[in-house]
Amino acid sequence: MSVHSTSPQFKENAARALSDTQLQRALGNVKQGFIDKRRKAVENLPEFEALRDSARDIKNHTLRHLDLYLEAYEAKVKASGGQVHFARDAEEARAIVLSLCREANARTVTKGKSMIAEEIGINEHLEANGVTPIETDLGEYIIQLRHELPSHIIAPAVHLNASQVEQDFRRVHKDLDPNRDLSQPVQLLTEARTVLRERFLAADVGITGANFLVAETGTSVIVTNEGNGDLTQILPKTHIVLASIEKVVPTLEDVSQILRVLARSATGQEMSVYTTFSTGPRRSSDADGPENYHVVLIDNGRSAMLGTSFEEMLRCIRCGACMNHCPIYHAVGGHAYGWVYPGPMGAVLTPSLIGVDQAGHLPNASTFCGRCESVCPVRIPLPKLMRHWRDREFEHHLSPATFRSGLAFWGFFAKRPALYRLVTRAAMASLGWAGRSKGRFNWLPLAKGWTKSRDFPAPQGETFQARWKRERGNNA
């Protein structure tokens, strides 16, 4: 484990989140923005569903041959003049990055957005050893100023409102005119651009993540909208790519297939603004680009997930669609999940990576409405995998406590009428949609005893409370 986790306190975290009015206002943006944009992008591409199948199949194929593609990838990186370092866990990865920074005599390091960097807690480690990391993605920059974890995997500062960002900028950018106008978001953006431009030009090392690694060519691929990842990797002398082992795919064609579902699922764009394919260091004739190119390939629990029911989770391309569509995420936000990965994907991945004893509450943070699975571009059966965690807890000594915590979780929501209404309304709407074809379910969450021997009639897309209100309203 690396970054400190508060996942065991999920319920306390959630309760705090629910009464945080700033947060609740900010979360409204998730619900409105992302869902609509994704839907429009999907409607615009008739082949979208077939491309999801294709993306799933590419990932499955790669995972089944992961050792071979990693070897092919490594050979190609070396052939293009780059270096590959393997790290079993977070600690090894941190040590490698620090020694590469020392080799480069680095004082400051710019960073592109990278979830694996969060996972291994690289910033704290560099800072503790006299190297200053500077986040350059606007959202990451903001949360770094606040010493927070990202609350969303593609929109790290989505839990904040502009006025909070303004306060942070005034607090930190002390050398700027205290009377400057920062009332508009665009003024905040411009200020960050100016401040970070200097940092980009001064950095000794640039660290980015990778959305994909290409075995065919030894290429690392990053996808951004701001261009910060590119400035991070072309300006400093040394570029370090951090990537977990499951990021590899076979060919450029495979990347192209998956890119067609990535941006559409994430932000509803047809394609992100910058998709960058980097292969090795600067060539002899080049006028710019890094002189040293390193890739740190990190396992940190992935190889143990292969061959288990959680192997499917390794298909994840970190698009964020599952959390954008999750009623629990909408209600409590990302920080309640207590570690690096929030939402449905976090509820499945976090127990795999930090242990079910630490994160056992998370798989219960679900209404099992199924919306996450219905939008996941690589078709990860997230509700099923959450259920697997529950079953696993059951098999272990954790069982009575787990069972209680499942019910306790239900009780927790049931005791908060506004939240209960919100969550059940979303759940019923999706259940109604999902079950209407058959009119029955043969399985329901928290009702195993019931559905084991009989089906549960599918709700007709409305909760009792909503219907009561409507009908009473009609009568009045």
Residues 282-301, interacting with another protein (CB under 8 A): 282-283, 285-289, 297, 299
DSSP alpha helix (H) spans, 284-375: 302-305, 321-324, 327-332, 343-354, 356-359, 371-375
**221-280: which residues touch another protein (CB under 8 A)?**
225-228, 230-231, 234-235, 245, 250-254, 256-257, 259-260, 267, 269-280
Q: Which string of b and e fits 193-222 if b means at least 16 CB within 10 Å?
A: eebbeebbeebbbbbbbbbbbbbbbbbbbb
Residues 6+ apart with CB under 8 A from 4: none
Per-position x/- string for 350-389, each x denoting binding to ligand SF4 as judged by CB under 6 A, each - no binding: --------------------------xxx-x---------
For residues 208 and 122, what is the distance between their CA atoms, to the nearest angstrom? Answer: 12
CB 445 within 8 A of CB 403: no
The site that binds ligand SF4 (CB under 6 A) totals a number of residues, namely: 12
CB 195 within 8 A of CB 182: no
CB 2 within 8 A of CB 121: yes
CB of 313 to ligand SF4, least distance (A): 7
CB of 322 to another protein, least distance (A): 18
Q: Which amino acid is at 213?
A: L
Answer with the entry of ligand SF4, another protein, none that 297 interacts with (C-beta below 5 to 8 A by kind). Answer: another protein
Complex with ligand SF4: residue 109 or 376, whichever CB lies closer? 376
Per-position x/- string for 316-355, each x denoting binding to ligand SF4 as judged by CB under 6 A, each - no binding: xxxxxxx----------------------x----------
For residues 104 and 205, what is the distance between their CA atoms, to the nearest angstrom? Answer: 7
Residue of 188, 203, 322, 323 interacting with another protein (CB under 8 A): 188
**54-73: which residues touch ligand SF4 (CB under 6 A)?**
none
Complex with another protein: residue 204 or 455, whichever CB lies closer? 204
CB of 339 to another protein, least distance (A): 21
- How is residue 162 written in tokens? 């502009």
In three state form, how does the secondary structure of 405-458 look?
Answer: HHHHHHHHHHCCHHHHHHHHHHHHHHHHHHHCCCCEECCCCCCHHHHCCCCEEC
CB of 343 to ligand SF4, least distance (A): 7
Complex with another protein: residue 51 or 117, whichever CB lies closer? 51
The site for ligand SF4 (CB under 6 A) is made up of 316-322, 345, 376-378, 380
